[in-house]
Amino acid sequence: MGKTLSVNSGSSSLKWQLFQMPEETVIAKGIFERIGQEQSTMKVEFAGEKHSNEQKIIDVQQCVLLLLDTLIHYGLINDFREITGVGHRVVAGGELFKASVIVDEKVLGEIKELARLAPLHNLANPAGIEAFMKLLPQALPVAVFDTAFHSTMSEKAFLYPIPKKYYDEYSIRKYGAHGTSHYYVSQLAAEMLNRPIDELKLVSAHIGNGASITAIDGGTSVDTSMGLTPLAGVMMGTRSGDIDPSVIQYLIENVAHLNNAAAVLDELNNKSGILGISGLTSDMRDLNDARASGDKNAQLAYDMFIDRLKKYIAQYIGLLNGIDALIFTAGIGENDEAVRQDIIEGLSWFGMEISPELNIRGANGIISTAQSKVKVLVIPTNEELVIAREVETFRQLWFNQTFSKGIA
Ligand code: ADP
């Protein structure tokens, strides 16, 4: 019995959920945004209540203190010591972390070292972990890696076809991302289909601001669209996804304000994708409004987005040499029926058929017709719950070890 915090600390935001474990009930959740800027915002939700507040938060340390005070203030905890575990989402685990770990000084140093693979996230992650370890010394700190689920990819899937010495000497390879989400929805898909996961060929489409497609065979990730960093793969809200790398050199040499690799990478990460083509927005809801009012570039961005998703899904059906079910998850995958409809219509040759009624209802479950050869599922992702479960597993292990030592 205990309360577990599931934390996702980014470069300027901190998202959290407080769970009662092992019951897995969500006690409260919230988000701090624009940390370190003039006006930070704090949103908290619990038991049907929603509160928001604005104040300057200078850094993650102050943010964590404010979070804990807020939990006390609303009576969600009476004492900091009620929080017995904190699970942290860590974006890059490199080749070192193939599963979740209990964080100590050594692990923290290794996570910092891996920051070169995801500089935006991995520097913010340890700062958040350190702040919680300092303020909640009694709570078990656990790091859960976004890349871990993809550690089953074979060399032929994760290597880039560049001289192999760059992998051997610099670890340049595909690591993928959104692993916690792909893992969670694939497990649930097997339950919903009432079939053992080890006999299923699945393609999972996590489509949110960031988007990635994963080929899952027998419950393990065999390939995924994101790469060394989360810039690769399909087109996203602000990220280009795959492009010819020669574009980078051409931009550096020909566009005055993009005269170095960092400036181009910033353009590809933050100003491209749906935002770059529409010139309006990175948000799918706003894009849909613009399309409805006849905006041509918004429509073009949408069409490009759909085609790139279709191409990756089809590619993975080929790689798996078959598919039992396609899973849609994350903000767009869970909520945008038109995106689902357009993708499935474009893949009907593979034997996928969507039920318009089920699709519009946006049911958590199967949305394909009874005749459809391939099942299509919508499954809301829950990375926070997976993180809380990982913490709970370590807590139980720790408890059992301590208990058995006590008896011996
Ligand atoms: P991330 O976690 O990567 O920031 P999310 O998974 O929250 O992103 O997804 C955000 C995206 O989901 C946005 O493009 C948003 O417009 C889209 N989205 C959320 N709700 C809806 C909806 N009801 N209809 C269409 N798109 C939606």
Q: What is the DSSP string of 233-251?
A: SS--SS---S--THHHHHH
CA distance linking residue 57 with residue 31, whole number of Å: 13
Confidence (pLDDT) at 115 = 78
Residue nearest to atom 21 of ligand 1 (CA): 335
pLDDT tens digits along 362-391: 778 999 999 999 999 999 999 999 999 999
Ligand 1 touching residue 209 (CB < 6 A): yes
Atom of ligand 1 nearest to the CA of 211: 3
Confidence (pLDDT) at 212 = 98
CATH number at 179-383: 3.30.420.40
CA distance linking residue 110 with residue 97, whole number of Å: 9
Contacts 24+ apart (CB under 8 A), 370-376: 374/323, 374/324, 374/325, 374/326, 374/350, 375/193, 375/324, 375/325, 375/326, 376/325, 376/326, 376/328, 376/340, 376/344, 376/352
Q: What are phi and psi of 252, to 5 degrees?
A: -60, -40
375 pairs with which residues across the strands? Answer: 325
Site to probe by mutation for ligand 1, drawn from 285, 309, 329 as the one with most ligand atoms within 8 Å of Cβ, is 285
DSSP 183-203: HHHHHHHHHHHTS-GGG-EEE
Per-block average pLDDT, block size 10, for the chain (408 residues)? 91 92 96 90 95 92 95 95 96 93 95 76 80 95 97 98 96 95 98 97 97 98 96 96 97 96 94 97 96 98 98 98 98 96 96 94 88 97 97 87 60
Residue nearest to atom 4 of ligand 1 (CA): 209
Provide the edge-to-edge strand list for the sheet that holds 83-90: 49-55, 40-46, 25-33, 14-21, 2-9, 83-90, 140-145, 101-102
User: C-alpha angle with apex 21: 101 to 185, nearest 5 degrees?
Assistant: 65
CA 193 to ligand 1 center in whole angstroms: 26
The full set of domain ranges for the chain reads 2-145, 179-383
User: What architecture does CATH give domain 2-145?
Assistant: 2-Layer Sandwich (3.30)
Ligand 1 touching residue 331 (CB < 6 A): yes
Beta-carbon contacts of 193 under 8 Å, excluding residues fewer than 6 positions away, are 200, 324, 325, 375, 377
Residue nearest to atom 25 of ligand 1 (CA): 336
CA 63 to ligand 1 center in whole angstroms: 25
Beta-carbon contacts of 250 under 8 Å, excluding residues fewer than 6 positions away, are none
Catalytic residues: 146
Q: What is the pTM of this model?
A: 0.93
CA 242 to ligand 1 center in whole angstroms: 21
Confidence (pLDDT) at 408 = 42
Identical topology for domains 2-145 and 179-383? yes
